[in-house]
Amino acid sequence: MIASQALLSAQDVALVYRGGVRALESVSLELPPGQFVSLVGPSGCGKSSILRLVAGLTAPTAGKLLVAGEPARRARRGAVRLAFVFQDPTLLPWRRVEDNVALPLELAGGSRSARMQAARSALELVGLADFARHFPSQLSGGMRMRASLARALVVQPELLLLDEPFAALDDITRQKLNTELSRLWAQRRWTGVFVTHNIAEAVFLSQRIIVMSARPGRIIADVQVPFEFPRTMELRSRPEFARLCGEVMSLLERGSR
Amino acid sequence: MNRRTAIAGFLPGFLLLALALLLHGCGNNSSARPVATAQPAREPQQSPAPANAPADENLIPVTLQLNWFPEAEHGGYYAALAHGYYREAGLDVKILPGGPDSPVVQQVARGMVDFGVVNADNILFGRAQQAPIVAVMAPLQISPRCILVHESTGIRGLRDLKNVTLAVSSSNAFTQYLRHELKLDNVKIVPYSGNVTHFLLNKNYAQQAYVFSEPFVARKAGGDPRVLMLSEIGFNPYTSTLFTNDEKIRDKPELVEKMVKASIKGWEKYVNSPEKANEAIHAANPQMDLDILAYGARTLEPLVYDQTAEAEGLGTMSRARWQKLADQLIASKQMKADKADVRGAYTTKFLR
Amino acid sequence: MSEAVRAAARAVLPPAVFLILIVVGWQLAIVVWQLPPYLVPSPQDVWASAQEHAADLGWAIPLTGAAALTGFGLSLVCGTLLGLVFSQFKWVQRSIYPYAIFLQTVPIVAVAPLLILWFGYGFQGVVAVSFILSLFPIITAATSGLTQIDPNLVELFAVHNATRLQELLKLRLPNAVPYLVTGAKISCGLAVIGAIVGEIYAGFQGEHIGLGTLITRANAALDTSYVFAGVLGSTLLSIAIFATVSVLGTTILARWHGAAGRDSTTR
């Protein structure tokens, strides 16, 4: 486990894309290790941009962003084990599911038997052990998303970034996967940063919700989610749940004005 | 598209393409590059001044399709045009330049043009495929077709041809005949490139040529070409023959006679004073320089007026010559014996 | 009838019937319009000519085929290599790729003499022409296949610190395979055309001639039946090569199913 310094530390971060689009403006944020936080906000508010900054895929135009005390790109190479779950499952169609899941370990080097074993374990975690030898085209959308999750989990990440992973799924599958994700987090307590449009989803999964304004994105609120873990379906029908959702919703509306 | 439709699509597609290709035609042409140097003219034969030339509206329009770009080998026809002999005969002749793969045989056979110019082998090939074409006049008694070698190889005759690269075109009858008739020891046959560049660069390079063209160009560029005439080994098709189709001969014999007589007059003029004709050729084909054309006209003279033509008149043709050519084409497997039609291939009735 | 027999019938019968219709129509056209042999040969004449020249055709088809396959093979290798260079070095792609179009429109008449100068007459010269004519589709296919990648996949590899080589071998090259299969199908037909045209400029030599020379000679003698027989030969050659490439391509692509419509969201 990492020492209790902040895993993610952003100070006055601004991000301007080429072409002049101001995605983020003076974002300051601190994440302790082992926390599950959601980022919610209107479209274009830069929440996905924050994920990309943390993953080291882009660099901030201004301000400082440190992951485990180092610039994100360097941190990714050694200081912290990072994984990213995209909105699309992004599985390589020419590889079997198990080879897809093993990909991050393959890129890092190491023996084949070790990584196939790790892949199997990851697939078991998400309930896809029986489909290891299938091809992605033979899986349903929900199953592909679970495979994508397995691929993220196979490296045993310390920091897991998720960019609206369940957005394209139907509501039933989505809620099921929410429950699964929550269970997985409860087991390992990695640090999770979850971007979503869906407030109920954010409330269900997180300990903390960060609400962002419309572009250029700024943090307008930081809400604690007091419910206990593990979170179950039953939570969704509780009045406190609805009340918190409403609160977040009105914060959002205020911010988009 | 899946495999089935792909295959189904290919076959008719290719057949249609082949059909189109054939209809577009294949006039086979020996490529000819006229070469000319000045030479004193033979006894000039004056033509009478056109006193009673018919008026413009009474002229009969006639088309004459050439088998290649206008060159010295077409000189007599241009002379007849330039000196007004066609006009005198009541004909408004339009000479249509040809080029590579001009389908002259097909065009004349179908009646799309009135007359054409091809070599005797093309006539025989056409008749073998039931094209109703007939040669009516042969201005060149000796074929200008030759093979160029470097003087330095010491090769003095076609039968001695060996140890060279020989560039000849598959589109010519003489190529097959050469391969059939000559031993060709250690001779590498390659396609003809269309110019003398390789010849100039390589001592062991031999190529096809026309006697009044490439030798001049090669010498001008500093080469040492030696000319080996194909007629020396007996392959001697009538060249630049004037031909038309059966129907015209049957239905309009006077027209054919006028055309033949005026063309003969044109050729007589050309071998004596080619200047005006060469200017007309140069105008029709600016790539052909006047000095090459002048050389060509001079060199053509002995090919037009050999012993036979001196005795029997310019343009004459004999059964024996046609038969010999047919036999050679059959022997070299370019024509089938049962398809050959020598009798129908030519007529001399317009020559007197 | 078993399923296999029925499937075979479904594949073979329609083109066979179509062929019969074409041949009948062809014969009818000749009779109705009285088309003479010096313009169009009849189906029987073509068949007779094919039988008569069976030996020559029997040599010409594999000879031309060998040149075409060699040219095609070279295109695959060089085209893919060029695509690799283009995909790795953007500035090279930007400066050179537009000129690759030249290969698409190259007037072979102008280029052939140069090719002969460099590669010589005979088999190499023919292969050179075949190669030039069939190269372009592979270059485009390879370049597209190696560069048109789901940006998420590229980011996935980046997030896991993949090296450039890893990205190339594990992402870009496999991604390019479906594109290359499509390109190969186009290119193989062009390679056959290229071999036939190439023979006209670089062919002959040796005892046996290819289809290009054969057709040219038949053409010179106005032997339309033989010309058509030659064209028939080249058609069969093209079909054989195309069918082989297609089947191979389909087999390879079996693994890629769903690759074209990238693994995107489903309901």
pLDDT tens, residue by residue, B227-236: 999 999 999 9
pTM (2 decimals)? Answer: 0.81
Of B154, B145, B257, give the one whose Cα is nearest residue B207: B145
CATH architecture of A18-81+158-257: 3-Layer(aba) Sandwich (3.40)
Backbone CA torsion sign across B41, B45, B50, B53: negative
Rg of chain C (C-alpha set): 23
Tell whether the model's pLDDT for residue A226 goes beyond 70: yes
Q: Cβ separation of C22 and B19 shorter than 8 Å? A: no
Q: What is the least distance, in Å, from the CA of C59 to any CA of chain B?
A: 18
Evaluate whether chains B and C are touching (3 or more beta carbon pairs less than 8 Å apart). yes
Number of domains in chain C: 1
pLDDT of residue B2: 44
Sketch out chain B's domains with CATH numbers: 56-141+237-345 (3.40.190.10), 145-233 (3.40.190.10)
Chain A interface test: which of C159, C171, C172, C251 (most A C-beta within 10 Å): C159
Chain A residues lying within 8 Å of C267, measured CB to CB: 141, 168-170
User: Using 50, 70 and 90 to split pLDDT, how confident is the model at C117?
Assistant: confident
**Listing from the earlier edge strand, what are the strands of the sheet with B145-150?**
B188-190, B165-167, B205-210, B145-150, B225-229
Between A103 and B36, name the one with better pLDDT.
Answer: A103
Q: Hey, what amino acid is at A72? A: A
Tens digit of each residue's pLDDT, chain B (352 residues):
344 444 444 444 445 555 544 444 444 444 333 333 344 444 444 444 444 555 567 899 999 999 999 999 999 999 999 999 999 999 999 999 998 888 999 999 999 999 999 999 999 999 999 999 999 999 999 999 999 999 999 999 999 998 999 999 988 999 999 999 998 888 988 888 888 888 998 899 999 999 988 999 999 898 899 999 999 999 999 999 999 999 999 999 999 999 999 999 999 999 999 999 999 999 999 989 999 999 999 999 999 999 999 999 999 999 999 999 999 999 999 999 999 999 999 999 999 7
**What CA–CA distance (Å, rounded) separates B143 from B349?**
23
| CB-neighbour burial class of residue B254 (10 A; exposed 0-12, middle 13-18, buried 19+) | exposed
A144 is written with which tokens?
Answer: 């592909």
End-to-end Cα spacing for chain A: 42
Chain B residues lying within 8 Å of C26, measured CB to CB: 15
pLDDT of residue C17: 92
Strands (DSSP E) along C30-107, which ranges? none
Chain B interface test: which of C222, C226, C247, C250 (most B C-beta within 10 Å): C222
Say what angle helices A141-153 and A97-108 make with each other, to 10 degrees: 20
Chain A residues lying within 8 Å of C258, measured CB to CB: 93, 135-137
Subunits with 3+ C-beta pairs closer than 8 A to B: C
Between C258 and B209, name the one with better pLDDT.
Answer: B209
Region C5-19: mean pLDDT is: 84
Q: Hey, what amino acid is at C84? A: L
C133 is written with which tokens?
Answer: 């004519």
Domain that holds residue C147: 67-256
Please tell me which of A47-51, A66-70, B250-254 the model is most confident about, judged by mean pLDDT: B250-254
pLDDT tens-digit series, residues B258-304: 999 999 999 999 999 999 999 999 999 998 999 999 999 999 999 99
pLDDT of residue C122: 86
Of C65, C16, C73, C55, give the one whose Cα is nearest residue C234: C65
Q: Please state, as a whole number, how many other Cβ atoms lie within 10 Å of the Cβ of residue B139.
A: 29
Chain C residues lying within 8 Å of A104, measured CB to CB: 160
Give percent of chain A above pLDDT 70.
Answer: 98
In a domain, C231, yes or no: yes
Tell whether the model's pLDDT for residue A236 goes beyond 60: yes
Q: Which residue does chain B place closest to C109, by CA atoms?
A: B193
**Average pLDDT score, chain C:** 89
Subunits with 3+ C-beta pairs closer than 8 A to C: A, B
User: Using 50, 70 and 90 to split pLDDT, how confident is the model at A123?
Assistant: very high
Q: Cβ separation of B19 and C116 shorter than 8 Å? A: no
In a domain, C35, yes or no: no
In this complex, which of B4, B10, B22 lies closest to C40 when CB atoms are compared?
A: B22
Contact C155, C92 (CB under 8 A): no
Q: Cβ separation of C22 and B12 shorter than 8 Å? A: yes
- Pairing mode, strands B115-118 and B241-245: antiparallel
How many Cα atoms are found within 13 Å in the side-chain-facing hemisphere of B107? 24
In a domain, C264, yes or no: no
Which strand (E) or helix (H) includes residue A196? Answer: strand A191-196
Tell whether the model's pLDDT for residue A193 goes beyond 70: yes
**Backbone dihedral angles phi then psi of residue B207, each to the nearest 5 degrees:** -150, 165
In a domain, C12, yes or no: no
Evaluate whether chains B and A are touching (3 or more beta carbon pairs less than 8 Å apart). no
Q: Cβ separation of B131 and C36 shorter than 8 Å? A: yes
Q: What is the least distance, in Å, from the CA of C99 to any CA of chain A?
A: 30
- Pairing mode, strands A70-71 and B225-229: unpaired
Of the given ranges (B166-170, B171-175, C1-5, C41-45), which has the lowest mean pLDDT?
A: C1-5
What are the residues whose beta carbons fall under 8 Å from the beta carbon of C254, sequence distance 6 or more? Answer: none
Tell whether the model's pLDDT for residue A45 goes beyond 70: yes
Contacts with C, A 129-188, CB within 8 Å: 135-137, 140-141, 144, 155, 168-170
What are the residues whose beta carbons fall under 8 Å from the beta carbon of C255, sequence distance 6 or more? Answer: A94, A135
For chain A, give every domain's residue range. Answer: 18-81+158-257, 91-156
Q: Cβ separation of C14 and B23 shorter than 8 Å? A: no
Tell whether the model's pLDDT for residue A248 goes beyond 80: yes
Chain B residues lying within 8 Å of C232, measured CB to CB: 14
Q: What is the CATH number of the domain that holds C83?
A: 1.10.3720.10
Chain C interface test: which of A70, A92, A97 (most C C-beta within 10 Å): A92
User: Which DSSP symbol is given to B287?
Assistant: T
Tell whether the model's pLDDT for residue A96 goes beyond 60: yes
pLDDT of residue A4: 54
Which strand (E) or helix (H) includes residue A71? Answer: strand A70-71
Q: What is the least distance, in Å, from the CA of C88 to any CA of chain A?
A: 19
**What CA–CA distance (Å, rounded) separates B79 from C159?**
84
Q: Cβ separation of A144 and C158 shorter than 8 Å? A: no
